[in-house]
Structure 1
């Protein structure tokens, strides 16, 4: 009997040890699996000024390897929006990568009035660094005004700086802000008479040899050629007529009609800068991104790298020609080809299924208001001069001076606080009085004060969007909201900046390593992107992130 119990005990001990061993082995396998299945490279793509409906309106003209590949193989968030105002390039790129809004990250516009220095500042401008790759001041840039980390920063910290981050865009802010504070490099395109990719001393003191080689190869020169539609223009039925009164025109050209002789037009349009306002700006961005992948060996070791690519030409083209133009349609058809070229290169170098891509936009755009008005949709233009005259008359009558106003910009009014105090006035009373006055002006829809934004919590409506964009230290004293589709802009071309659907509804596509196949109409917001990528990589969320990881996207 004793032998039986001894044998049973020994057998149980053996089973227990075996189970523990199996358990330990399983945990080890899971850890190894988690490490080995992490993407080798994350490619973040921001398409500047891309409305969501471009995916559906132009979708039949796209091939299988670009936008449609992302949709067919990945996950499509069809109801994706910006959850703050203002919807501009600087705040947009920052919000995508930091997972929060201007309220937290501090990039409240492309430019804004600095209440401390009493001057207008640029979101990426930095007088404490020097240009690299040019003698021009175009390189005096850094992310120093961005107050939080990006998910690319968190990946660098997680990998003990072994994972690389490279930012690439025609616009400096499109490369710098996504790449974050710890990036190995950010490169942007300097046009004029140089046509070169440059950077700043924030990252390095000299361009790498591969960038020098790229510049001397005269890639920019090769794109000063004819721009005609990729396909027969008569088949571009998803956009308006080629000749109309709603488009801007390049200097030196009588009409905004195809074709465009860029070599000739460049002489009156600041040289290589004309490339930016054509689809070839996206092509040279793709060329440079591919060169960066190869030269920097991105995705070639055990540490996840991040490549932040922003396609800026879509914004330039939209601003000049408008969202309903054949120029915009051709730009997106050609961008689709560039995306296919980029993905094919990633397949061959990093490996199909070894990298992850997300694609979104930094804002949308309004249809040209003069076009909307022509088809009886309420729209138009703000008369800034008349508003200013009316406002100055109010200030002089009420306070005896216009000096109480320090600055008006970005639909915000900044008060001279010292002057308010000198006049013996209460700040909140002046804010309220100005708000009530402005609310009576033509095409002003709503007005809110800084006091309201700081003391009231909004969860819905335009008020919530304004609050998410309101940075207590940097924003103004009074915030204006114009009527729907009423803008301060020329009567040709499109712009953006509002909290309305045409500016907030943008694509959000994921595909590649760790991404499920599917789609959703559930609402997602831009700050969700960075936490989702952090969750996929198993790293810390950006330190100011307010968004939530989209678990239904991750496989």
Structure 2
């Protein structure tokens, strides 16, 4: 009831606020900073290398929540950032992962793929229409009558479109093939400063050959991990003759500088935060592992990444203060709540668990279904810990889908390494328990599979034809959220909040409606 009343009050007060108080009871600029794989424990462990104007300025002068909870499985950069800006789980917003499997076409594509829109400086066809609900940016655009400028910059397309939403004046990302700043023709306006930069000799397309990553500080300053075996002055190159050079670049701290440079260029050229209506800038940074690190478990590289990220945050905050004023700006910083481990088990060490081979599991399950229902290929695909059945075949054979799903689940749950198997019918119509609800939050009809597998911790997943061997870990990382700037009282809140609380809380501070599928509550410290 409180959320309904708040929405009504906010809706009727929008016009009055914008018209009667041009100096702004609301902030002139909103800056949403998402940091992919940011860890709160690393902020504490690495703080001796930070200055006073980046992380420490945010932590000492902001409203700091210890941890953000994502109440759905298989977190990644697409599903989490979409949840941040919509205030909803994937079951509502529709972005269940970075990629999705199209059963009808038997192909894997981007979750944002859209044949109706061409790319600009990219061959990919993408749009934000895969996001099935509104975002903070959408609601701000509606509230301001289209007058608010909205920009998003990120390493990857999914991050930029999730943060920029449907209403962005521009959402840009670094293209994986030639490192241009790319966008989609879904967004009708073009930002001249971005296109001019793409054609200049300063573009990453031309400079990536000359970039090498070395420690910014003497390596004796990087002493957070007592278990680091290889204390070395590393040097990594991103030249064009190196396979996947742009993707490697995106795992380095230099991607944060590239994103920050472009965000600052547009902040300056577009005069964001200087008009009556609030403007909006979304920036995504990277704080994850570098796959080329020599010490996979406790690397020097991750410490250097945080040190350099601290400097980039300081530069962005200083520029905002110079151009708009931090007291006129609402800034929120949110982690994506997961961390891709580079775990290497010492040679000769025997651990609990084992190896789960999805292709073998699929073959065994199909043989079982053949024994029950006839010699057919009942399974179309194993993808992202899900099994997809051939629905047309099942329909043609007039087989009860619910019964088939249940029998398949009962067979699979007996397999070594499988903790639980949940059917799509259970999630949509079955008796709920906490675990079913957790998986239900990530289920979207038409995108998700028939069976969801929960694998036991410690088991390694080895997929045929892939070099990535994931080891299952259920322990969540400490994922902070920080609010900073206009009318924010410095506090440290030692409780876990839900990711779905972020969007309605930002909307409340902007005096606009929450995104239309938002299920979270307004954080009480922001009243």
Range class of TM-score, shorter chain: 0.7 to 0.9
- Cα distance, 1:379–1:356 mapped onto 2, change above 3 Å: farther
**Residue 436 (structure 1) aligned to one of 386, 410, 426:** 410
- Structure 1 equivalent of residue 452 of structure 2: 479
The answer as to 2:384 corresponding to 1:410 is yes
**Residue 181 (structure 1) aligned to one of 155, 166, 180:** 166
**Residue 70 (structure 2) aligned to one of 65, 82, 88:** 82
- Give the Cα separation in 2 of the matches to 1:98 and 1:303: 21
Contact 2:89-2:500 at 8 Å conserved across structures = yes
The answer as to 2:216 corresponding to 1:226 is no
Q: How does 1:233-312 map to 2 (within 5 A)?
A: 233-239=219-225, 258-262=233-237, 265-312=239-286
Residues 428-479 of structure 1: per-residue CA shift (max 9 Å, x gap) = 111111111111112111111111111246463x333211111234321111
Alpha-carbon shift at residue 155 of structure 1 (Å)? 0.3
- Cα distance, 1:376–1:522 mapped onto 2, change above 3 Å: farther
- Cα distance, 1:34–1:205 mapped onto 2, change above 3 Å: closer
The answer as to 2:95 corresponding to 1:107 is yes
- Give the Cα separation in 1 of the matches to 2:20 and 2:123: 48
Alpha-carbon shift at residue 241 of structure 1 (Å)? 6.0
Contact 1:90-1:174 at 8 Å conserved across structures = yes
Q: Which has the higher helix share?
A: 1
Contact 1:367-1:494 at 8 Å conserved across structures = no
- Give the Cα separation in 2 of the matches to 1:94 and 1:236: 34
Bigger shift: 419-428 or 40-49?
Answer: 419-428
Bigger shift: 467-476 or 539-548?
Answer: 467-476
Alpha-carbon shift at residue 243 of structure 1 (Å)? 5.8
- Structure 2 equivalent of residue 200 of structure 1: 184
TM-score (normalizing by structure 2):
0.87
- Cα distance, 1:196–1:29 mapped onto 2, change above 3 Å: closer
The answer as to 2:490 corresponding to 1:534 is no
Contact 1:364-1:496 at 8 Å conserved across structures = no
Alpha-carbon shift at residue 294 of structure 1 (Å)? 0.8
The answer as to 2:34 corresponding to 1:59 is no
Q: How does 1:391-540 map to 2 (within 5 A)?
A: 391-456=365-430, 458=432, 460=434, 462-488=435-461, 500-502=474-476, 505-540=478-513
Contact 1:372-1:379 at 8 Å conserved across structures = no
- Structure 2 equivalent of residue 141 of structure 1: 126
Residues 250-274 of structure 1: per-residue CA shift (max 9 Å, x gap) = xxxxxx96422425x5422345444
Residues 219-261 of structure 1: per-residue CA shift (max 9 Å, x gap) = 42445333111212133222376666xxxxxxxxxxx964224
Partner-residue secondary structure (3-state), 1:229: coil
Contact 1:48-1:362 at 8 Å conserved across structures = yes
Contact 1:95-1:526 at 8 Å conserved across structures = yes
- Cα distance, 1:400–1:51 mapped onto 2, change above 3 Å: farther
Partner-residue secondary structure (3-state), 1:277: coil
**Residue 114 (structure 2) aligned to one of 126, 132, 138:** 126
Larger radius of gyration: 1
- Cα distance, 1:117–1:210 mapped onto 2, change above 3 Å: closer
- Give the Cα separation in 2 of the matches to 1:145 and 1:240: 45
Residues 497-537 of structure 1: per-residue CA shift (max 9 Å, x gap) = 97x3436x422111111322112222201111000000010
Between the two proteins, the alignment pairs up a number of residues equal to: 507
Bigger shift: 385-394 or 153-162?
Answer: 385-394
- Cα distance, 1:319–1:386 mapped onto 2, change above 3 Å: farther
Partner-residue secondary structure (3-state), 2:304: helix
Alpha-carbon shift at residue 354 of structure 1 (Å)? 0.9
Q: Which runs of 5+ in 2 are unaligned?
A: 1-15
The answer as to 2:117 corresponding to 1:159 is no
Residues 127-180 of structure 1: per-residue CA shift (max 9 Å, x gap) = 211121x2x413x22101110000110000000010111010110111111111
Partner-residue secondary structure (3-state), 2:524: coil
The answer as to 2:335 corresponding to 1:349 is no
- Cα distance, 1:261–1:50 mapped onto 2, change above 3 Å: closer
- Cα distance, 1:42–1:485 mapped onto 2, change above 3 Å: farther
Partner-residue secondary structure (3-state), 2:327: coil
Contact 1:40-1:354 at 8 Å conserved across structures = yes
Alpha-carbon shift at residue 320 of structure 1 (Å)? 6.7
Q: Which runs of 5+ in 1 are unaligned?
A: 1-27, 245-255
- Give the Cα separation in 1 of the matches to 2:349 and 2:224: 17
Contact 2:405-2:451 at 8 Å conserved across structures = yes
Two-structure CA RMSD over aligned residues (Å): 3.0
**Residue 32 (structure 2) aligned to one of 31, 44, 47:** 44
- Give the Cα separation in 1 of the matches to 2:21 and 2:524: 19
Contact 1:85-1:497 at 8 Å conserved across structures = no
- Give the Cα separation in 2 of the matches to 1:476 and 1:387: 16
- Give the Cα separation in 2 of the matches to 1:151 and 1:470: 23
- Cα distance, 1:488–1:296 mapped onto 2, change above 3 Å: farther
The answer as to 2:197 corresponding to 1:213 is yes
Partner-residue secondary structure (3-state), 1:356: strand
Alpha-carbon shift at residue 496 of structure 1 (Å)? 9.2
- Give the Cα separation in 2 of the matches to 1:278 and 1:463: 37
Bigger shift: 44-53 or 180-189?
Answer: 44-53
- Give the Cα separation in 1 of the matches to 2:408 and 2:193: 56
TM-score (normalizing by structure 1):
0.83
Residues 341-377 of structure 1: per-residue CA shift (max 9 Å, x gap) = 1101101011121111111122312544434998887
